């Protein structure tokens, strides 16, 4: 059954391969590049540039190089360490994620310089995918990298949703919340987005470097207050958010910019269900809006499995129910893990002793939290096998130590970097 789960996951990943996704959306005939009903005469521009950041931006850039062959002048994108792919004319910078580092700041300066140098005769393709928020970063003048590290570290461990986290990030940055596109005006701007946010709100994905921001510094302060962080973040951050000049600038020449979604969790979830059907399972996508505390979501998914086992609802076995989205984790312990591993461990406790039911949590980027695993498999034997290794499942969950638990019972899912990122997938399998 693990092989079945991996076949389903691999098919889902293929459906959101960034390179293939760009080629599906964009077509070229001679010197004309078409995106849907809009086309661009590449020969009419002084320069064509490719700029961007995110875990999938390298693969997206490689696809654009093929489509722009003979016209691409310069490219620069920032990828997470280890997510490098071969490119010809695009320089790939590697930087830290999920916490910004000095490499990211230096790479962002290079991208900002290229954007600022553009004029109305230039065409710029901006590539945005999951991870962009940490990788593409230029702190406001009164802030330092240490300030950003402190804020990001606390936001990522308090259980805040990505929409809330990025609301704060936008108001501490010179590139987020539409500021990068503003820097590139009056060039013609085309943004290609691979979504890693539930529901794919364009202004949230990657903190929206090319999307005009509607939030305010007061909104950012409310997020910090909601999670009890006003006394934990650096004073310089609070001082900056209380200044009236932190709002995003108005966009100049908005007609010269367009934004296109090239891939999302919805596509991956649909592909997963399709593969399960092909393999002989009854399948459905239950939701692509999965959110909440990871361990609690795991228990809910286990309940779905039980409903199928005992009442044949919403599908009779053999059944595969697919969910997509992104859960959160409030870090209370000192262990090691990720949201998908916590989801699986929560499910394991609820499934203890059940036969023929499993729950899988998987991060489509191949990286679940600060670990080398993408997720984990949980079934009715997981707790007993952990006991046999001298581990208490509930205790490990309390310590946020899901990685050590699943490593001991040999149920980690490890793929390495996938070079895509469309949130997480969860499978409920009943046979």
Task: Give 282-299 pLDDT, tens digit per residue.
Answer: 999 999 999 999 999 999
pLDDT attached to residue 245: 58
pLDDT attached to residue 244: 73
Q: Are β-strands 424-430 and 357-363 bridged in parallel, bridged antiparallel, or unpaired?
A: antiparallel
The neighbour count for residue 313, using CB atoms within 10 Å, is: 10
pLDDT at residue 72 tops 60: yes
Domain boundaries of the chain, sorted by first residue: 2-263, 266-430
Average of per-residue pLDDT across 40-44: 97
pLDDT at residue 254 tops 80: no
Packing angle of the helix pair 265-278, 2-15 (nearest 10 deg): 140
* 206 band by pLDDT with thresholds 50, 70 and 90: very high
* 36 band by pLDDT with thresholds 50, 70 and 90: confident
Q: Which two tokens stand for residue 360?
A: 């899988």
Residue in this structure with the two tokens 């997963």, named with its chain if needed = 272
Q: Which of 35-39, 312-316, 351-355, 380-384 has the lowest mean pLDDT?
A: 35-39
* 18 band by pLDDT with thresholds 50, 70 and 90: very high
* 250 band by pLDDT with thresholds 50, 70 and 90: low
368-377 residue pLDDT tens: 999 999 999 9
CATH code of 266-430, in short, is: 3.40.1480.10
pLDDT attached to residue 91: 98
Average of per-residue pLDDT across 107-122: 97
227-237 residue pLDDT tens: 999 999 999 99
pLDDT at residue 41 tops 80: yes
pLDDT attached to residue 252: 46
pLDDT at residue 166 tops 90: yes
* 249 band by pLDDT with thresholds 50, 70 and 90: low
Domain 2-263 and domain 266-430 have a common topology: no
Q: Supply the pTM of this predicted model.
A: 0.92
d(CA 384, CA 148): 43
Q: Which two tokens stand for residue 10?
A: 């691999």
pLDDT at residue 301 tops 50: yes
As assigned by CATH, the class of the 2-263 domain is alpha beta
pLDDT at residue 416 tops 70: yes
**b/e 50-76 (16+ beta carbons within 10 angstroms → b):** bbbbbbbbbbbbbbbbebbeebbeebb
120-164 residue pLDDT tens: 999 999 999 999 999 999 999 999 999 999 999 999 999 999 999
**Mean per-residue pLDDT over the chain, rounded:** 96
- DSSP for 117-158, please give it: T--TTEEEEEEEETTHHHHS--B-TT--HHHHHHHHHHHHHB
Average of per-residue pLDDT across 272-287: 98
pLDDT attached to residue 257: 85
Average of per-residue pLDDT across 75-87: 96
Sequence-separated (6 or more) residues with CB below 8 Å from residue 298? 342, 343, 344, 345, 346, 347, 348, 350, 359, 361, 378
3-state secondary structure of 274: helix
Q: Which of 18-22, 240-244, 271-275, 422-426 has the lowest mean pLDDT?
A: 240-244
Q: Greatest CA span in the chain, whole angstroms? A: 69
Q: What percent of the chain has pLDDT above 70?
A: 97
């Amino acid at each position: 059954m693990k092989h079945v789960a991996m076949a389903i996951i691999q098919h889902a990943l293929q459906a959101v391969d960034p390179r293939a996704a760009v080629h599906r959306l964009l077509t070229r005939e001679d010197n004309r590049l078409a995106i849907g009903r809009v086309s661009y005469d590449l020969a009419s521009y002084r320069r064509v540039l490719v700029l961007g950041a995110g875990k999938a931006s390298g693969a997206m850039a490689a696809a654009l190089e093929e489509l722009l062959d003979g016209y691409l002048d310069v490219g620069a994108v920032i990828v997470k360490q280890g997510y490098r792919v071969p490119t010809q004319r695009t320089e790939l910078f590697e930087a830290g994620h999920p916490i910004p580092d000095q490499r990211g700041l230096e790479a962002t300066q290079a991208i900002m310089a290229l954007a600022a140098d553009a004029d109305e005769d230039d065409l710029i393709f901006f590539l945005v995918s999951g991870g962009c928020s940490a990788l593409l970063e230029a702190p406001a003048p009164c802030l330092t990298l240490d300030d950003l590290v402190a804020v990001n570290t606390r936001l990522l461990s308090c259980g805040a949703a990505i929409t809330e986290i990025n609301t704060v990030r936008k108001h501490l940055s010179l590139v987020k919340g539409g500021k990068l596109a503003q820097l590139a005006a009056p060039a013609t701007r085309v943004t290609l987005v691979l979504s890693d946010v539930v529901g794919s709100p364009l202004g949230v994905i990657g903190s929206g470097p090319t999307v005009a921001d509607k939030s305010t510094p007061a909104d950012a302060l409310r997020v910090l207050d909601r999670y009890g962080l006003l006394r934990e973040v650096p004073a310089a951050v609070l001082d900056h958010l209380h200044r009236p000049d932190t709002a995003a600038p108005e966009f100049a020449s908005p007609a010269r910019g367009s934004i296109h979604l090239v891939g999302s969790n919805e596509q991956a979830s649909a592909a997963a269900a399709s593969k399960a059907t092909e393999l002989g399972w009854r399948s459905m996508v239950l939701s692509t809006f999965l959110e909440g505390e990871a361990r609690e979501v795991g228990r809910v998914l286990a309940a779905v499995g039980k409903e199928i086992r005992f009442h044949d609802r919403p599908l009779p076995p053999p059944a595969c129910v697919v969910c997509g989205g992104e859960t959160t984790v409030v870090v209370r312990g000192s262990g090691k893990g990720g949201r998908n591993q916590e989801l699986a461990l929560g499910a394991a406790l609820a499934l203890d002793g059940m036969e023929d039911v499993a729950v899988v949590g998987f991060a489509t980027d191949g990286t679940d939290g600060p670990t080398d695993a993408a997720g984990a498999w949980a079934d009715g034997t997981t707790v007993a096998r952990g006991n046999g290794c001298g581990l208490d499942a509930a205790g490990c969950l309390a310590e946020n130590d899901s990685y050590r638990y699943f490593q001991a019972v040999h149920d980690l899912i490890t793929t390495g970097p996938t070079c895509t990122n469309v949130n997480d997938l969860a499978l409920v399998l009943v046979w």
